[in-house]
Structure 1
Amino acid sequence: MSGTFTDVLPPAVLSRHRDLLVAGPSRETVWPVPSRILASTVAPDDGLTAVTTRTAARTMVDRLVRDVPALARERTGVVDCTPSHDEVRASPRERYWSVPSPVDLTGTSMAVHDCMETLGEQGAGDRHLVFDSLSNLLMSTDSETVTRYAHQLLLLADATDAMSVFPIYTNVTDGTDFERLKHLFDGMIRVRRRDGTREVRCVGIAGAADGWVRLPDVGTAPGAEAD
């Protein structure tokens, strides 16, 4: 079966499922799908907090603004947890917060809270949340801790009636860890590649398309996956 992303997840369905786990075998397979979810959700006056543990903050923001048509750069904040700096830094005017390590979960939670508060003060409507990958955390922190942390971030986003999108890569994530985490979410989107084309399947999402759906329009621009 082939279709567009709105065929898979109509806006009315997305409005009832606000916390989504996006699971696939690798970063390269999963990467475009969170942006497509946000593109179907974000309204012109909404804001977005992006949390990155690997990709450079500027690259991640550029990518999201490019791929989510209604998203404005001035309503996009980023929490930079890449291990490229050695101190906490906050620049609300620039909507940028840095935390020295992706496993500084307390610092990251506080930064996400501050970012969402700042976006609200700057006039954003719903304030959505996207995390680059829970798998990056699971490689250095136990799953119980990561589960508590993800739950805390979901509560922050739920308080603003927003969409939360969390990718996970099954090629580097233990099956037990994956099972523990998936129960936090309203629903899950599985992603795979067949014959060079991405396919998605919705799990636990009432009203979504049944079975695997090919998404030929979910491509990756040349160089887009390079950090």
Structure 2
Amino acid sequence: MSGTLSDILPDDALSRHRDLLVAGPSRETVWPVPSHILASAVAPDDGLAVVTTRTAARTMVDRLVRDVPALERDNTGVVDGTPTHDEVRVDPRERYWSVPSPVDLTGTSMAVHDCMETLWEQGVADRHMLFDSLSNVLMSTDSETVTRYAHQLLLLANATSAVSVFPIYTNVTDGTDFERLKHLFDGMVRVRRRNGTREVRCVGIDGAATGWVRLGDSEAVSGAEAD
């Protein structure tokens, strides 16, 4: 069986399961599934707060605006936790915030809060969230701390129609850490590669397709790299 992500994860499922963990064996396997989820969730005039710990902030925003049709650049804010920041002026009016490193959890939480407030002040009611990968934080911080941190970020995005998407890469994430984190989320989308295409399986999401489903060819090959 094959289909598009909107066939597999319909809009009414996203209205009931707003905090999603997207899990796969590697970054290359998982992407671009998070952006396809957001494409199903983001409506015109919605906003998005992005936390990036690896991909350049400017590149991340460019790709999300490209891949999420309803998303406008002016409604997108980015918190940059990459080791080498883009040369972008740190100014809330530009919807860009930087923190010293991916493991500056307090700084990131404060920046996400400021990003959400800035989008609200410019008239954006529903503000979705994408955190590029919890695995990048888990490599340097214990899972209990990361779990509390992720829970705090999810609370910041707790709006009626907002969706939060948090990828995790199982090839670099301890099984115990993964089990601890997955209980924070309303549902999970598992991703794998088979014969050159991506397959997804929804876990704990009412109304979603059950079992492994192959994504259509265009979704299977687009956005294979996240850097």
Q: Give the gaps of 5 or more residues in structure 2.
A: none
Q: Is the 8 A contact 2:31 2:226 kept in 1?
A: no
Q: Measure the CA separation in 2 of the matches of 1:190 and 1:42.
A: 21
How high is the TM-score relative to the length of structure 2? 0.95
Q: Measure the CA separation in 2 of the matches of 1:143 and 1:76.
A: 29
> 2:61 corresponds to which residue?
61
- What does the per-residue CA deviation read over 1:130-180, in whole Å, with 9 as the maximum and x for residues that have no partner? 000000000000000000000000000014641100000000000000000
SS of structure 2 residue aligned to 1:168: strand
SS of structure 2 residue aligned to 1:40: helix
* Higher alpha-carbon deviation: 153-162 or 12-21: 153-162
Measure how far apart 1:31 and its partner are: 1.0
Measure how far apart 1:90 and its partner are: 3.8
> 1:128 corresponds to which residue?
128
> 1:215 corresponds to which residue?
215
SS of structure 1 residue aligned to 2:21: strand
Measure how far apart 1:125 and its partner are: 2.6
Q: Measure the CA separation in 2 of the matches of 1:187 and 1:27.
A: 19
RMSD of aligned alpha carbons: 1.3
Measure how far apart 1:218 and its partner are: 1.1
Give runs of ≥4 in structure 1 deviating > 3 Å: 219-222
Q: Is the 8 A contact 1:39 1:70 kept in 2?
A: yes
How many equivalent pairs are there? 223
Q: Give the gaps of 5 or more residues in structure 1.
A: none
SS of structure 2 residue aligned to 1:101: coil
Q: Measure the CA separation in 1 of the matches of 2:47 and 2:168.
A: 23
1:7-26 aligned at under 5 Å gives the runs 7-26=7-26
Q: Is the 8 A contact 1:19 1:154 kept in 2?
A: yes
1:81-100 aligned at under 5 Å gives the runs 81-84=81-84, 90-100=90-100
